[in-house]
Structures are given as C-alpha cells and as structure tokens.
C-alpha cells in the first residue's frame, strides 16, 4: 500500500484584502489599508500548488468562503436587500464589515486539525475544523469550513468529521498551524505534537503579556480526545510566550515538522529539552532529526519577517526532503545564508524551492499557512472528491476561472461595493460546479 502526505491548499477568495484585522500578526497590521490584488494572490497560490503537484506530490485545493458574509451581517441586525445590508454596515460599522469581508479562509493550516488513520483508534482520518475564536473575522469560518471539508473528503467509511470545539476562549483552537506530526513513514503510526499558547483553566501558568495566545492547552487536549489518539503518541508543548509577544502568533511561524525531522527555532518552546526528550522517548528509538536554528544565526525578527519556519518540508518521490519557502527568505540575508547552509548539514533536507506568495505574506500567511496536510494511503486518496485534486486540467480551469471573476485590485473602500457580492457569488457558484462540491455556501441554501 502506498502512502502520501497530501497538501490541500486554500484557494484565495475574490475579496482578498488588507484590513489589518489580526492583532499580534505583524504583517497584517503593517499592511493595513494597502491595496491588494485578489487575482495575483489567487494565481500565486495556484502556481505554488501546481509546482508541488509537478514535483510528484499529492496536492488538492480547498474552496474559499463566501465573502462578504451577508449571513453574519444579517445576524447582527443589518437588514434589507443585500445591497442595503452592505451599505448600512459600511456606514454604521465599517470595522464589522471589514471582518465580514476577509478572504482569510485561504490559510487552510487554520481550517482544521487532521489526524491520519494510522494514529487513530477507529482507523479513520479525523478532521476537526478550528473555531478560530480569537479573531472575529476568522471566528465566522468554521461552519462553512466543515461543509467544504465534508464535500472534499466525502466518504464516511474513511473520513470522520467532527464539529468545531465550543466557541469560547477556553477552547481557542487554530487548527493544524499548532499541530505537527512526526513519523517514520507517512503510513506508520506517528506522534502528534500539539503546541499551545496558554492554559485557560490555570491562571498562574505562563502566558504572553502583549499579544494574544490563540491556542489553549484545553483545546489541544480536546482534539486529541476527539481524534482517539493515545497518550503514548501525543505530546503537548507550550509555545514560548516571549516569542508570541514578538509576533509569532502560531507555532508554524517558528517550527515545522515532516516525517522524522523537526525544524524549529531555539526559542520556540517552553521546556525545550524536556519536551524533545519526551518526543524522542515516544518515537520508540527510531532515528529523529532535531534541526534547531540558533538565535545567533537567525533572530526572531528575521524569522517573523522572512517566514523561515512557515515553510513546507516535503518528502519528494526520491526520498529526499525539500523546503518550500517564500521568496522573502531569499531576500533576507541571514535567512538565505542559513538555508544555503542547511542543505549541506547532512539532515534529510537537501533542496530549497522558493515561491512568490507575497500577496498572502503581506497578511502574515506563508507557504505553510496556505496548506492543510492530510496523510493518506492510496485507498483513502482514491476516496477523496477527485475534482479537488490538482491536475493540469484543474490548474488551467482554475486560472481561467480566476481571470474571469477576480479583480486586479481591491482597496478597503471597495468592500462597500454591492457589485462585489454579485461577483463573489457568481464565482463561487461556478467553483462549486468545477469542484463538484454541492451547496456548501449560505447563499446556495
């Protein structure tokens, strides 16, 4: 039986914009009110996804969400026709309108946490959409995320879909961005690392002083229970609160793992040595590579700016590992030098491939934020909705679809344009036909 780790990238939605919505995410705040290009953003993402498929990797796409989110605007009291709802929100509550227009579902690392069948008791792949309660614009994603995941992984024999965790800060959950799996081979049982920012039920435990810790230990533990993971194969690690205060709002901004490699910054975790020993112990004596990047080589600011750790580490068909990095890593001297050195260090990582995903980077989302990993065997992969899997044909179709429906430029004021509702719905309706998703959006119900 063959095994894969598929990446499901989030297709950038037609309203991609820079609204400065994510306090604690330095890029989002720094680029607030900049003019975006939804068309360029979607094409950058598609190009990266297609390049990974061309490298021989299993690659899928996840549909974006309906924005502006008229359903939420109506829920909070704006009434009338769609255009009236939008106009009233733009005048009376522009900040709420901006929250209802974000294309943030593109960062599918935050769509859900996924545990492959080799790790779970019932032998199914488990999915729990992230509730994303820390940010208003993201907290409106989970229900539709659940619909899209169910339409993509649409076979109950292999895929178990859970509801998102209760919508309270005690259960703040940001999905796979705070979850890494280490294993020998993708098809073998692995250990799942859950990295959290704070303990909700223990006020004396360490937490950041300035920026929010979006993930709680309680949420991570709930996911491990739901996904039927063993204690022997789960490790809970606290993220260093000091680095959260320096802009590391998710663990995937400071660490990433693949198979038997954990690539992380010296300052990433609390109790690092103890936790590495626990990982080693639970890994049952198999060879592990802890690739630690010292502050002396790459400081936290450089890591946050370049997104050195928001890279994807992938295993190529020839067994070598490659790093999929944003071009921002090439442009940062210290980081570029580090990556050039890394491929010579004798770790399994032998190649670096750079991609321009700047439209996403300007909102704090790198290559790793743009993808949700799903480790699968060939039977499970064959059970995935085939119209979501990247092929030459899907790539061409989606590029034409973007050309037809997406704007070249979008300014914050444009979010009040009722025409954007029509454009966005027309595009998404056509997309659900291309990807054969059925009715996953509110406007289709």
Ligand X SMILES: NCCC[C@H](NC(=O)CCC(=O)O)C(=O)O
Chain residues in the site for ligand X (CB under 6 A): 18-22, 25, 28, 102, 104, 107, 109-110, 135, 138, 177, 250, 363-365, 369
Provide the 8-state DSSP code for 389: B
β-strand 191-196 against 234-238: which pairing, if any?
parallel
Helices in 284-418 by DSSP H: which ranges? 300-306, 327-331, 333-342, 358-361, 378-383, 392-405
Catalytic option among 265, 369, 380, 405: 369
Q: Which is nearer to ligand X, 34 or 434 (CB)?
A: 34
Minimum CB distance to ligand X smaller for 133 or for 182? 133
User: Does 174 qualify as catalytic in the annotation?
Assistant: yes
Question: Which residue number, 34 or 343, has a Cβ lying nearer to ligand X?
Answer: 34
The CB-of-35 to ligand X minimum distance in angstroms stands at: 12
Is 199 part of the annotated catalytic residue set?
A: no
Residues whose CB falls within 8 Å of the CB of residue 147, separated by 6 or more in sequence, listed in order: 440, 441
- The burial of 155, by beta-carbon neighbours within 10 Å (0-12 exposed, 13-18 middle, 19 or more buried), is given as middle
| CA distance linking residue 378 with residue 2, whole number of Å | 6
Q: Helix (H, G, I), strand (E, B), or coil: what is residue 296?
A: coil
Q: By the 8 A CB rule, do 382 and 58 touch?
A: no
Distance of CA 136 to the CA centre of its chain: 17
Find out whether the peptide bond into 413 is cis, omega within 30 degrees of 0: no
Distance of closest approach, residue 202 Cβ to ligand X, in angstroms: 25
Q: Which residue, 10 or 146, is less far from ligand X as judged by CB?
A: 10
Q: How far is the CB of 135 from ligand X (least distance, A)?
A: 6
Beta carbon nearer to ligand X, 52 or 383: 52
- Token pair listed for 109: 């690392």
Does the annotation mark 250 as catalytic? yes
CB of 252 to ligand X, least distance (A): 7
Rounded Cα distance between 235 and 303, Å, is 24
- Classified as helix, coil or strand, 290 is strand
The catalytically annotated residue of 3, 161, 179, 250 is 250
274, exposed or middle or buried, with CB in 10 Å at 0-12, 13-18, 19+? Answer: exposed
CB of 20 to ligand X, least distance (A): 5
The candidate with the shortest Cα–Cα distance to 187, out of 315, 49, 92, 352, is 315
Q: Between residues 104 and 152, which has the closer beta carbon with respect to ligand X?
A: 104
Please report how close the Cβ of residue 67 comes to ligand X at its closest, in angstroms: 11
Report the catalytic residues: 174, 250, 369
């Amino acid at each position: 039986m063959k095994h894969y780790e598929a990446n499901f990238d989030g297709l950038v939605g037609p309203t991609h914009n820079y609204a400065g919505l994510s306090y604690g995410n330095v890029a989002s705040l720094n680029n607030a009110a900049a003019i975006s290009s939804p068309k360029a953003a979607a094409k950058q993402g598609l190009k990266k996804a297609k390049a990974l498929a061309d490298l021989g990797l299993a690659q899928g796409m996840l549909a974006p969400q309906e924005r502006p989110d008229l359903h939420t605007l109506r829920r909070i009291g704006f009434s009338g026709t769609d255009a009236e709802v939008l106009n009233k929100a733009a005048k009376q509550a522009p900040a709420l309108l901006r929250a209802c227009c974000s294309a943030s579902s593109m960062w599918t690392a935050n769509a859900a946490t996924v545990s492959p069948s080799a790790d779970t008791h019932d032998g199914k792949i488990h999915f729990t959409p992230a509730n994303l309660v820390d940010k208003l614009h993201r907290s409106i994603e989970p229900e539709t995320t659940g619909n899209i995941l169910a339409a993509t992984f649409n076979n109950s024999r292999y895929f178990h879909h859970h509801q998102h965790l209760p919508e309270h800060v005690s259960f703040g959950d940001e999905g796979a961005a705070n979850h890494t799996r280490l294993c020998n081979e993708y098809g073998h049982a692995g250990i799942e690392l859950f990295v959290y920012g704070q303990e909700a039920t223990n006020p004396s435990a360490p937490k950041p002083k300035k920026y929010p810790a979006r993930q709680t230990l309680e949420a991570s533990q709930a996911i491990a229970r739901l996904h039927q993971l063993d204690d022997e194969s789960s490790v809970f690690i606290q993220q260093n609160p000091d680095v959260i205060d320096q802009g590391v709002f998710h663990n995937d901004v400071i660490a990433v793992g693949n198979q038997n490699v954990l690539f992380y910054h010296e300052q990433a975790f609390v109790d690092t040595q103890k936790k590495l020993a626990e990982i080693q112990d639970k890994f049952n004596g198999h060879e592990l590579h802890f690739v630690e990047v010292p502050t002396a080589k790459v400081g936290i600011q450089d890591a946050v700016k370049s997104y050195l750790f928001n890279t994807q580490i992938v295993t190529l068909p020839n067994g070598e590992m490659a790093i999929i990095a944003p071009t921002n890593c090439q442009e940062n001297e210290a980081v570029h030098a580090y990556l050039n050195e890394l491929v010579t260090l004798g770790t399994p990582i032998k190649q670096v491939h750079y991609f321009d995903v700047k439209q996403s980077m300007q909102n704090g989302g790198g290559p790793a934020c743009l993808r949700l990993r799903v480790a699968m065997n060939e039977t499970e992969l064959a059970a995935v909705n085939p119209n979501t899997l990247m092929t030459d044909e899907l790539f061409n179709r989606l590029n034409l679809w973007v050309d037809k429906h997406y704007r070249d430029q979008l300014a914050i004021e444009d979010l009040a344009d009722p025409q954007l509702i029509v454009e966005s719905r027309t595009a998404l309706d056509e997309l659900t036909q291309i990807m054969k998703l059925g009715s996953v959006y509110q406007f289709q119900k």
